[in-house]
């Protein structure tokens, strides 16, 4: 610890100071931004380990900031923890679908927030080189760094969540995963994402993949697997 630099984005000065104080006390370096536009610019110019992002901002809201960061090659791998007011469940789910890693609802305990920060940074640091390597199987070519998928040479446009599910399954052909395991693997623990949403993602994937969708197999009563290469 001590080398991680965290961007805190909130238009409330009290929140900024509270979060900054607690993270600095834990040994993190911090940068603050009061607007979404400033946050995007900082993220593209600085080397950041994590972003704590309020959803309600005066110019570009937190969801749009997330969308912009996750669609830019330089910033798409920066973990994001969203700060949201109670009653914003729909926005939380949207943020997670866009690629945010976690969320904390206001009012929040500084101890809980710092614990979430440590957990997200741990998960991010565990991403090995192998997890960033391209996957080639059954005519699929999956590039994690560029978030691109090709099937028999043809590009396939996927949402962030569809890409995450496909990459997770294709990297482990033949292994059977429950819906709960898939949710945990692509989102982490304790998220407002139901196991039913995995079925929706799989259905969307199969439709976009066409004939190649057959390689995502349903294991009745258990979950899903990507067809083994054998």
- Domain with residue 176: its CATH number is 1.10.10.10
Q: Indicate whether 83 and 105 sit together in one domain.
A: yes
pTM more than 0.85: no
Residue of 24 and 181 predicted with greater confidence: 24
Q: Indicate whether 11 and 121 sit together in one domain.
A: yes
Identify whether the C-beta of residue 183 lies closer than 8 Å to the C-beta of residue 193.
Answer: yes
Q: Which residues, in sequence order, are CB contacts of 53 under 8 Å at separation 6+?
A: 9, 39, 62, 65, 66, 80, 81, 82, 83, 100
* DSSP-derived secondary structure letter, 210: G
137-165 per-residue burial string, b: 16 or more CB within 10 A, e: under 16: eeebebebeebebebeeeebebebbbbbb
Kindly tell me if the per-residue pLDDT of 129 is higher than 70. no
Q: Indicate whether 101 and 140 sit together in one domain.
A: no
Query: Encoding tokens for residue 192?
Result: 């407002």
Instruction: Give the range of the structural domain holding residue 203, as residue numbers without chain letter.
Output: 130-226
Predicted confidence at residue 193, as pLDDT, reads: 54
Confidence of residue 119 (pLDDT cuts 50, 70, 90): confident
Q: Indicate whether 163 and 114 sit together in one domain.
A: no
Confidence of residue 1 (pLDDT cuts 50, 70, 90): very low
Query: Encoding tokens for residue 131?
Result: 């997890």
For the chain, give the mean pLDDT: 87
Q: Indicate whether 88 and 196 sit together in one domain.
A: no
Predicted confidence at residue 127, as pLDDT, reads: 58
């Amino acid at each position: 610890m001590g080398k991680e630099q965290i961007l805190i984005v909130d238009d409330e000065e009290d929140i900024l100071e509270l979060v900054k104080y607690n993270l600095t006390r834990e040994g993190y370096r911090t940068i603050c931004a009061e607007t979404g536009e400033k946050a995007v610019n900082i993220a593209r110019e600085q080397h950041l380990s994590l972003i704590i992002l309020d959803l309600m901002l005066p110019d570009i809201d937190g969801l749009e900031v997330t969308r912009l960061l996750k669609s830019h090659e330089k910033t798409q791998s920066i973990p994001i923890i969203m700060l949201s007011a109670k009653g914003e469940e729909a926005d939380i789910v949207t943020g997670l679908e866009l690629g945010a890693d976690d969320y904390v609802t206001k009012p929040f305990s500084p101890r809980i927030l710092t614990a979430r920060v440590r957990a997200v940074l741990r998960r991010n640091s565990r991403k090995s080189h192998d997890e960033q390597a391209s996957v080639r199987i059954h005519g699929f070519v999956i590039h994690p760094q560029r978030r691109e998928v090709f099937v028999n040479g043809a590009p396939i446009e996927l949402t962030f969540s569809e890409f995450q599910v496909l990459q997770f399954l294709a990297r482990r052909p033949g292994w059977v995963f429950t819906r709960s395991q898939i949710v945990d693997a692509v989102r982490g623990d304790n998220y407002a994402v139901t196991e039913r949403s995995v079925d929706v993602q799989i259905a969307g994937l199969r439709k976009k993949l066409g004939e190649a969708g057959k390689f995502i197999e349903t294991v009745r009563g258990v979950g899903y697997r990507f067809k083994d290469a054998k």
